[in-house]
C-alpha cells in the first residue's frame, strides 16, 4: 500500500492514475488489434510496469530529457508524447512521432524531451550520459532520465556509462525497471546479486531500490534523485522492482513464467492496488472509473486516426536521416 499518498496533492495523484490508465489501455489496445488482425505491427508490452513510468513522468519537467527502450510505450505516455504520435509510429504512418520511419523501437519526440528510444540493450545509457554532459556544458539545469531493464545492467555500456556519469557528477538518473526477466530468462539466472541498485556502489554513486508497483514510493525515489542531479549532486541509480505480465513481445505467450509467480505478482498489479490507495486518499469510485473511461476513449480516438493516416511519403525517405552539416561546439 502506498505509504506517502498524503504527501501528494489530489491533482498529482490524479496525474499518476491517468498516466497509468492511458499506458495500460494503449498497451492492451495495440495487443488486441494485433491479435484480431486489425493491423500488423510489433510491440514489447509494458503491462505491469505502469506505476514506474507514471512516477517518472510526475517527477520530471517537460524540458527534462528521457531516453528509453523498445519496452517504452508507457514511458512515452508519461513524458507527454501525444497518443496519436505514439500509435502512428507503432503503425508506421505519417502521423507517427518519427513520421512512421522508425516504428515502435525508434520513437523520438524532442519537443517533450523524449530524445531516443532504442532496441540495442544498454545503449541508452551512454546516450543519456552524453545528454547530461551537454546540459552541464550548456549551463542548463535540465536532468536526463535513462530508463532500461534489469538485463541492460549486465552490459558493458551500462557499466562504462554509469562510471563516467559518477566521475563527472553529471545530472542524470539511471532508472532500472527491474521486471524480473530479460527476454525469457529470469533475473536470478543472469546476476549473482539480489539488488541491481548495488551496482551503483562500484562506481561511487547512490543506488536505491524501490517498490516499482507503488507509484507514490517510486515517485519520491525518482524525485529525490532528480533534485539531487539538478542541484549538481550527480547521478543516482534507481531500481524500481516491478513485473512484466505479458511475454517479451506481443505474441510471446510467456509460458516460461511459473504459475505461482504469476499469481503472486497479480496480487501486486499496480492497476489493481493503486485504486485502493486512491480511495483511502478520498477519491470516489466514480472518479477512479472516469479516468479509466477517459483512457479508453482517448486511446480509441488515437488508434482510429492513426489507422486511417497515410504511410510515409517516399519523398521523405532521406529527411531526418542525415544531418544538415550543423556543427555544435562546446568551447
3-state secondary structure of 238: strand
Give the three cell numbers for residue 122: 544498454
Smallest distance from ligand TPP to CB 289, Å: 30
Q: In this structure, are strands 181-182 and 185-186 parallel, antiparallel, or unpaired?
A: antiparallel
**At closest approach, how far in Å is the CB of 27 from Mg ion?**
16
Q: For residues 92 and 80, what is the distance between their CA atoms, to the nearest angstrom?
A: 20
Residue 119 near ligand TPP by CB under 6 A:
yes
Stretch that binds ligand TPP, among 3-11, 120-128, 297-305, 310-318 (CB under 6 A): 120-128
Q: Residues 6, 138, 183, 300: which binds ligand TPP (CB under 6 A)?
A: 183
Rounded CA-CA distance 53/49 in Å is 7
Binding-site partner at residue 133 among ligand TPP, Mg ion, none, CB < 5 to 8 Å by type: none
Window of 25-33, 84-92, 144-152, 203-211 that interacts with ligand TPP by CB under 6 A = 144-152
The neighbouring-strand residues paired with 66 are 114, 145
Residue 111 in the binding site for ligand TPP (CB under 6 A): no
Q: Does 63 bind ligand TPP (CB under 6 A)?
A: no
Stretch touching ligand TPP by CB under 6 A, among 22-30, 163-171, 176-184, 297-305: 176-184
Angle of helix 10-35 relative to helix 50-59, nearest 10 degrees, comes to 140
Among 177, 132, 125, CA closest to 151: 177
Q: What DSSP state is assigned to residue 10?
A: H
The option from Mg ion, ligand TPP, none interacting with 234 (CB < 5 to 8 A, set by class) reads none
**Closest among 1, 14, 3 to 282, alpha carbons compared:** 14
Binding stretches for Mg ion (CB under 5 A): 149-150, 179, 182
Binding stretches for ligand TPP (CB under 6 A): 71, 119-122, 148-152, 179, 181-183
Amino acid at each position: 500500500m502506498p505509504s506517502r499518498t498524503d504527501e501528494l496533492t489530489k491533482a498529482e495523484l490524479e496525474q499518476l492514475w491517468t498516466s497509468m490508465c492511458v499506458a495500460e489501455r494503449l498497451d492492451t489496445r495495440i495487443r488486441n488489434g494485433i491479435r484480431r488482425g486489425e493491423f500488423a505491427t510489433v510491440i514489447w508490452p509494458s503491462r505491469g510496469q505502469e506505476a514506474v513510468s507514471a512516477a517518472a513522468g510526475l517527477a520530471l519537467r517537460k524540458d527534462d530529457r528521457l531516453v528509453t527502450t523498445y519496452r517504452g510505450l508507457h514511458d512515452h505516455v508519461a513524458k507527454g508524447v501525444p497518443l496519436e504520435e505514439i500509435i502512428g509510429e507503432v503503425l508506421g504512418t505519417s502521423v507517427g512521432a518519427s513520421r512512421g520511419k522508425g516504428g515502435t523501437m525508434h520513437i523520438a519526440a524532442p519537443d517533450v524531451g523524449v530524445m531516443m528510444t532504442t532496441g540495442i540493450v544498454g545503449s541508452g545509457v551512454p546516450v543519456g550520459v552524453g545528454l547530461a554532459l551537454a546540459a552541464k556544458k550548456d549551463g542548463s539545469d535540465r536532468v536526463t532520465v535513462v530508463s532500461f531493464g534489469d538485463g541492460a545492467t549486465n552490459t558493458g555500456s551500462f557499466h562504462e556509462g554509469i562510471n563516467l556519469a559518477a566521475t563527472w557528477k553529471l545530472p542524470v538518473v539511471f532508472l532500472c525497471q527491474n521486471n524480473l526477466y530479460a527476454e525469457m530468462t529470469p533475473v536470478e539466472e543472469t546476476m549473482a546479486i539480489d539488488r541491481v541498485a548495488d551496482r551503483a556502489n562500484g562506481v561511487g554513486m547512490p543506488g536505491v531500490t524501490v517498490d516499482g508497483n507503488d507509484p507514490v514510493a517510486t515517485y519520491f525515489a525518482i524525485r529525490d534523485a532528480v533534485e539531487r542531479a539538478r542541484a549538481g549532486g550527480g547521478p543516482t541509480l534507481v531500481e524500481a522492482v516491478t513485473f512484466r505480465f505479458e511475454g517479451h513481445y506481443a505474441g510471446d505467450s510467456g509460458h516460461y513464467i511459473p504459475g505461482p509467480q504469476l499469481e503472486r505478482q497479480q496480487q501486486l498489479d499496480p492497476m489493481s492496488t493503486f485504486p485502493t490507495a486512491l480511495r483511502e486518499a478520498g477519491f470516489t469510485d466514480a472518479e477512479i472509473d472516469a479516468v479509466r473511461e477517459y483512457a479508453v476513449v482517448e486511446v480509441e480516438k488515437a488508434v482510429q486516426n492513426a489507422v486511417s493516416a497515410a504511410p510515409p511519403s517516399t519523398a521523405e525517405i532521406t529527411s531526418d536521416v542525415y544531418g544538415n552539416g550543423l556543427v555544435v561546439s562546446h568551447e
